Chains A and B, each alone.
Chain A
Amino acid sequence: MSFFKVANLGINFGGVVAVDKVSFEVRRGEVYTIIGPNGAGKTTIFNLIGLIYPATSGQIFLEDKPLTGSVPHRIAQLGIARTFQNIELFEHATVLQNLLIGRHRHRAASLWQELLFTPAVRRAELAAREAVEQVIDFLDLAKYRDSLVAGLPYGVRKVVELGRALATEPRLLLLDEPSSGLNPEETDDMAFWIEDIRRHLGVTVLMVEHDMNLVSRVSDRVLALNLGTVIAEGTPAEVQAHPAVIEAYLGKAA
């Protein structure tokens, strides 16, 4: 049984082929990275996995169960969480509230119980807070707990978004350019966290990333895309040395 599999995935935007017959498989517990120049279709693949765009062709499987044809919120309920390239947080809520929304998929009470705030709802809330506090501890967000997201610096917001995804207790974590906009120190922290997420939380990570230092440091395997098609797959070192990858980034040698 494969953990997560993408088979022949493709999408056209009005005749432009953005992703063309992309197939790959992510093994349980690994960090799998997709790299490629701008416009290679990396984020589009994430949006296809999240069902934000309907795929023109191909299939996506989580533990051999097809995801295509489902609806976006089901994806999260199945245990796939993601972050966004340009940060999509709930701006007018506090960090704590943002992380608590991450717990949404564990909601059990009915509307009537919530309107009356029955003891069961209170217990669930306490449990949710306990889980969220663990994420806050893990990512060192304690001092921002009650701040509004709108006022936080970019680097912190990036971490909050990671925390929100972790609060869902995902099985598969999709990180869309986790290091973009971060300074070297923050990138270093991010690398530590990604390693910890895999090692201590046992979460499988699928990542899109540009920073090759970060990629080689944390990834087990790398997939290189160019213009919507796969050009190489393998260990970070293998992919970096692959002639097609070098050509895609630097152009053809004269």
Chain B
Amino acid sequence: MRFLFKTDYDQDIRLFKHGGQVFWYGLLMALLLAAPFLVDEYVMSQLHFICIYSIVGLGLMLLVGFTGQISLGHAAFLAVGAYTEALLQAKGVPVFISLPCAALFSAAAGLIVGLPALRLKGIYLAIATLAFNVIVEEVITRWEGLTGGNSGLHLKPVEIFGVTLDGDAGFFYLCLGLTVLSILALMNLLRSPTGRAFVAIRDSEISASCMGVNLAKYKTLSFAISAALTGIGGALYAHKVSFISPEQFTLLQSIELVTIVILGGVGFLHGAVLGAAFLIVLPQLISLAKDYLPANVGGTGLQAVVFGLVLIGFIIFEPLGLYGRWLKVRTWFELFPFYRKGMFRRQKSYMKSERLR
């Protein structure tokens, strides 16, 4: 077990707490940078998706895990990002302008959704975001002049300074770079007053406002930042799949995005990345398993069943998600042989009422 002897406040603030972290994250980064030369095209494609979903997951994690606001409408922000990118690219706007625009437009949409969030709590907020999702989807379907309706829009590969990133490597570095930037930005945010204000709102709104936190400002801000990240994810997603249509941005997509946060571990940035990786890998595992199952079980329903069971299983047996599981494993090794079973157990309340009586 590592003991950190702190002699300076800066040790609390810095991003890497000790040399071990620098080593392991450096190694991970080196492996990822080398990935295009090590793995085949198919794995690369999955890595693209993992990066893209990580960015979206990070956005949702900020909102759900750190600000405590529920959203079942993030597919709408994904759509705003994707369509902005597609339309701007068709107009010949270079990617280093269109990508920020995608983020900006999504953030604007996030502000709009954030406004009702000032008055709505819990389930009412969830329903409002859900309604927003359905309406955006319908608008995209009906506004054929702009979005092509159900026939969708096609995108060309990303082009930076005349270099086309159609190969796996180039686009991967773009996605990876943006993922790392998003993580750094969020880590910075979370170690400064804004991030703490978000956590304050999550844990006790009334107390937060008595500490001088402007609830309206920070809630909408959280929605906007979350939506902006999702918009960037959407723009990359649009390039990755090169064809977008309304049915990619349904409520079910929103729910899948939220499961990233739940499976990864609510309240940990690591969780967003782990959850995204899990969400991408799971369907691959299922299709592998299909060969060994009878025809009626291995049909279209299998994915839904496995997905549902995984979700239920995680919530019942590992509420802290994949990252929580990793923390436990790590603690077990660090403390060996002194790990106790109840170390991470949280106190259970009889029933936590949200009806505020």
Direct touch of chains A and B (CB < 8 A): yes
On chain A, the residues within 8 Å of B196 by CB distance are 93, 97, 100-101, 104
B9 and A130 contacting across the interface, CB-CB below 8 Å = yes
Beta-carbon contacts of A87-129 to B below 8 Å, as 1s and 0s? Answer: 0111111001100111111010101001111000110011011
A88 and B193 contacting across the interface, CB-CB below 8 Å = no
On chain B, the residues within 8 Å of A150 by CB distance are 346-347
A114 and B267 contacting across the interface, CB-CB below 8 Å = no
On chain A, the residues within 8 Å of B221 by CB distance are 111
B210 and A81 contacting across the interface, CB-CB below 8 Å = yes
Of the four ranges (under 10, 10 to 19, 20 to 34, 35 or more), the interface on chain A belongs to 35 or more
CA distance A111 to B220 in the complex (A): 13
Stretch of B133-141, B159-167, B183-191, B235-243 contacting A (4+ beta carbons < 8 Å): B183-191
Is A82 at the interface (CB under 8 A from chain B)?
Answer: yes
On chain A, the residues within 8 Å of B191 by CB distance are 117, 125
Which one of A92, A107, A116, A125 contacts B203 once the chains associate, using CB atoms below 8 Å? Answer: A92
B210 and A76 contacting across the interface, CB-CB below 8 Å = yes
Beta-carbon contacts of B177-213 to A below 8 Å, as 1s and 0s? Answer: 0000000010011011111110110111011111111
Question: Taking each of A71, A88, A103, A133, which has the highest tally of chain B beta carbons within 10 Å of its own beta carbon?
Answer: A88
B212 and A52 contacting across the interface, CB-CB below 8 Å = no
CA distance A114 to B13 in the complex (A): 13
Interface residues in A153-196 (C-beta closer than 8 Å to B): 164, 168
A75 and B193 contacting across the interface, CB-CB below 8 Å = no
CA distance A36 to B197 in the complex (A): 35
Which one of B9, B188, B192, B213 contacts A129 once the chains associate, using CB atoms below 8 Å? Answer: B9
CA distance A50 to B214 in the complex (A): 14
On chain A, the residues within 8 Å of B188 by CB distance are 114-117, 121
A117 and B203 contacting across the interface, CB-CB below 8 Å = no
Question: Taking each of B188, B200, B212, which has the highest tally of chain A beta carbons within 10 Å of its own beta carbon?
Answer: B212
Is B215 at the interface (CB under 8 A from chain A)?
Answer: yes
On chain A, the residues within 8 Å of B208 by CB distance are 90, 101
Which one of A52, A76, A114, A125 contacts B211 once the chains associate, using CB atoms below 8 Å? Answer: A76
Q: Is the interface of B mostly helix, strand, loop or mixed?
A: helix
A125 and B213 contacting across the interface, CB-CB below 8 Å = no
Is A72 at the interface (CB under 8 A from chain B)?
Answer: yes
B212 and A111 contacting across the interface, CB-CB below 8 Å = no
Is B12 at the interface (CB under 8 A from chain A)?
Answer: yes
B204 and A73 contacting across the interface, CB-CB below 8 Å = no
B203 and A114 contacting across the interface, CB-CB below 8 Å = no
Interface residues in A64-89 (C-beta closer than 8 Å to B): 71-73, 75-77, 81-82, 84, 88-89
Is B354 at the interface (CB under 8 A from chain A)?
Answer: no
Question: Taking each of B192, B200, B206, B209, which has the highest tally of chain A beta carbons within 10 Å of its own beta carbon?
Answer: B192
Known: A91-B203, A111-B221, A115-B189. A76 touches B347 (CB 8 A): no
CA distance A121 to B12 in the complex (A): 14
**Min CB distance, B181 to chain A, in Å?**
10
A164 and B206 contacting across the interface, CB-CB below 8 Å = no
On chain B, the residues within 8 Å of A84 by CB distance are 207
Is B40 at the interface (CB under 8 A from chain A)?
Answer: no
In chain B, what residue has the closest Cβ to A105? B212
Known: A50-B210, A111-B221, A122-B13. A90 touches B200 (CB 8 A): yes
Is B291 at the interface (CB under 8 A from chain A)?
Answer: no
On chain B, the residues within 8 Å of A52 by CB distance are 206, 210
CA distance A76 to B197 in the complex (A): 14
A104 and B185 contacting across the interface, CB-CB below 8 Å = no
In chain A, what residue has the closest Cβ to B267? A92
On chain A, the residues within 8 Å of B199 by CB distance are 90, 92-93, 97, 101
A72 and B193 contacting across the interface, CB-CB below 8 Å = no
CA distance A76 to B13 in the complex (A): 26
A114 and B192 contacting across the interface, CB-CB below 8 Å = yes
Known: A114-B189, A126-B9. A88 touches B213 (CB 8 A): no
On chain A, the residues within 8 Å of B192 by CB distance are 109, 114, 117, 121, 125
On chain A, the residues within 8 Å of B209 by CB distance are 72-73, 76
On chain A, the residues within 8 Å of B202 by CB distance are 90, 92
On chain B, the residues within 8 Å of A111 by CB distance are 194, 221
CA distance A121 to B13 in the complex (A): 11
On chain B, the residues within 8 Å of A103 by CB distance are 193
Known: A97-B196, A126-B10, A150-B347. A90 touches B189 (CB 8 A): no
CA distance A97 to B13 in the complex (A): 12
A90 and B346 contacting across the interface, CB-CB below 8 Å = no
**Min CB distance, B328 to chain A, in Å?**
16
CA distance A117 to B191 in the complex (A): 9
Known: A104-B212, A114-B193, A115-B188. A88 touches B13 (CB 8 A): no
CA distance A91 to B221 in the complex (A): 22
In chain A, what residue has the closest Cβ to B195? A114
**Min CB distance, B298 to chain A, in Å?**
42
**Min CB distance, B266 to chain A, in Å?**
10
Beta-carbon contacts of A124-157 to B below 8 Å, as 1s and 0s? Answer: 0110111001000000000000000010000000
Given contacts A89-B204, A93-B203, A104-B193, 12 further A-B contacts (CB under 8 A): A76-B211, A88-B206, A90-B200, A91-B203, A97-B196, A101-B208, A111-B194, A114-B188, A115-B189, A126-B13, A130-B9, A133-B9
B residues sitting closer than 8 Å to A (CB atoms) are: 9-10, 12-13, 185, 188-189, 191-197, 199-200, 202-204, 206-215, 221, 267, 346-347
Can you show 13 pairs from A to B with CB atoms below 8 A apart? Answer: A50-B210, A73-B213, A81-B210, A84-B207, A89-B203, A89-B204, A92-B199, A101-B197, A103-B193, A104-B200, A111-B194, A133-B9, A150-B347
Give me the 5 closest cross-chain CB pairs, A-B, nearest first.
A76-B212, A90-B203, A105-B212, A88-B207, A117-B188
